[in-house]
């Protein structure tokens, strides 16, 4: 466990982001995606605040294990949990867990649906169906919708609790990308086919963060924001003009300077004796790949007050070297912020690391404490 490094999560900003999401979709309920430890920010604290303070009643996890952790820690709270991918329906212990703890598996294959309908545990349990409309990852094939309807009728089920699909290209234009247009068209066909077959659909959702930002899919009963709730846009670089969202990062990654020393141009530092490109001051910070500060950050620009330094040499497991100009005022013991609420700087950091906001958030390891603020 680190003592001088921490990920500070500002829950008040989470609330601000939620308000901005609701401004875009005032008539839709929010199914808040908190998978992967709430995108690295802490599953239980983030979900607890979102439910108790923001009034969110639906949460999305990737696995039944995540759902179990969430339910066990907040067992007295009344909210719904959806498990989207790693459902493990075939295991008896989990099928009973779903029923007994109000956790809803999202059925994504015909095999899932057949098992669900033939399992006595789920005889009166709500049905959540996810269809594949172009993602080609998980989801019942769009062309098998008639088989789904036949299966439901065969088992006397006349209602789908939640019908959903997923955009494959929501980071691109929702109104020009052919895959996005096709997904919207097919989802409308799905809803109509169920309705014509006499099967009611209680809830629907199609919009993930990129779609919500572009005001697409907001007419459904639910939206499913993920990344945008944590601050960043999920649109590709160059498409910022398509977004109607200006969220702020809910976290800042803080560490401190372990040591500083002056170097001349070409002087080697660290593993591999990497020569520095210019004379300056090297600041060794207490973050390395053991903390989720990856080797890809080599060459990334970081800020110290009004100075800009560059991650130089090899990123180590426990520390990294940042090269500043020779007149830098940085010194050992100084607090060092890798990112803060400056969304634009964070975007540049992701670009330097040849990564994406999701990955940078999620890779911060448990060795870095999460500190929660309401300032």
Q: Look over the chain and give the mean of its residue pLDDT values, rounded to a whole number.
A: 96
When pLDDT is averaged across residues 322-351 and rounded to a whole number, the result is: 95
What confidence tens digit (pLDDT) does each residue in 257-271 have?
999 999 999 999 999
Q: Give pLDDT tens digits for 181-214.
A: 999 999 999 999 999 999 999 999 999 999 999 9
Residue 364 pLDDT class (50, 70, 90 cuts): very high
The pLDDT, as a whole number, for residue 36 is: 97
**0.75 exceeded by pTM:** yes
CATH class of 251-340: mainly beta
pLDDT at position 374:
87
Count CB neighbours of 25 within 10 A: 19
Q: Which residues contact 7 (CB under 8 A, 6 or more apart)?
A: 40, 41, 251, 252, 253, 254, 364, 368, 369, 370, 371
76-115 in b/e form (b: 16+ CB < 10 A) is eeebebbbbeebebeeeebbebbbeeebbbbbbbeebbbe
At 276, phi and psi to the nearest 5?
-80, 150
How far does CA 234 lie from the centroid of its chain? 10
Residue limits of CATH 3.20.20.10 in the chain: 11-233
**How do residues 72-127 score in pLDDT, each as one tens digit?**
999 889 999 999 999 998 887 888 899 999 899 999 999 999 999 999 989 999 99
Strand partners, 86: 63
Provide CATH 2.40.37.10 ranges for the chain. 251-340
Q: Do residues 76 and 51 touch, judged by C-beta distance below 8 A?
A: no
pLDDT at position 2 is: 83
3-state helix, strand, coil in the chain (%, to 5): 35, 25, 40
- Sequence-distant (≥ 6) Cβ neighbours of residue 64 within 8 angstroms: 83, 86, 87, 88, 94, 97, 98, 103, 105
Pick the CATH number of 11-233 from 3.90.550.10, 3.90.1150.10, 3.30.70.2190, 3.20.20.10: 3.20.20.10
| Pairwise CA distance, residues 157 & 195, whole Å | 13
């Amino acid at each position: 466990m680190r003592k001088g490094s921490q990920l500070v999560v500002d829950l008040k900003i989470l609330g601000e982001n939620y308000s901005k999401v609701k401004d875009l979709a005032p008539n839709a309920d929010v199914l808040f995606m908190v998978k992967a430890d709430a995108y690295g920010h802490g599953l239980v604290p983030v979900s607890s605040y979102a439910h108790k303070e923001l009034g969110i009643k639906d949460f999305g996890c990737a696995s039944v294990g995540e759902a179990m952790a969430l339910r066990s820690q907040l067992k007295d709270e009344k909210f719904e949990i959806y498990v989207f991918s790693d459902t493990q329906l075939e295991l008896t212990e989990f099928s009973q867990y779903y029923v007994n703890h109000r956790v809803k598996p999202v059925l994504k294959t015909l095999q899932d649906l057949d098992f669900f309908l033939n399992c006595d545990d789920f005889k009166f349990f709500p049905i959540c169906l996810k269809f594949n409309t172009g993602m080609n990852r998980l989801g019942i094939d769009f062309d098998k919708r008639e088989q789904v309807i036949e299966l439901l009728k065969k088992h006397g089920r006349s209602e789908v609790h939640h019908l959903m699909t997923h955009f494959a290209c929501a980071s691109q234009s929702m109104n020009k990308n052919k895959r996005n247009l096709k997904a919207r068209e097919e989802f409308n066909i799905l809803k109509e086919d169920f309705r014509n077959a006499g099967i009611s659909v209680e809830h629907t959702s199609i919009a993930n963060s990129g779609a919500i930002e572009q005001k697409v899919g907001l007419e459904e009963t639910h939206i499913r924001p993920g990344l945008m709730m944590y601050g960043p846009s999920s649109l590709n670089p160059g498409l910022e003009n398509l977004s109607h969202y200006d969220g702020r990062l809910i976290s800042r990654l803080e560490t401190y300077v372990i040591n500083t020393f002056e170097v001349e141009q070409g002087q080697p530092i660290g593993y591999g004796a990497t020569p520095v490109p210019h004379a300056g001051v090297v600041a060794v910070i207490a973050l390395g790949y053991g903390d989720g500060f990856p080797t890809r950050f080599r060459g990334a620009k970081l800020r110290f007050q009004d100075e800009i330094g560059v991650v130089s040499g090899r990123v180590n497991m426990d520390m990294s070297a940042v090269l500043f100009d020779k007149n830098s005022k940085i010194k050992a013991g100084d607090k060092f912020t890798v990112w803060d609420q400056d969304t634009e700087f964070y975007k540049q950091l992701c670009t330097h690391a040849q990564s994406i906001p999701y990955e940078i958030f999620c890779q911060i390891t448990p060795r870095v404490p999460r500190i929660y603020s309401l300032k």
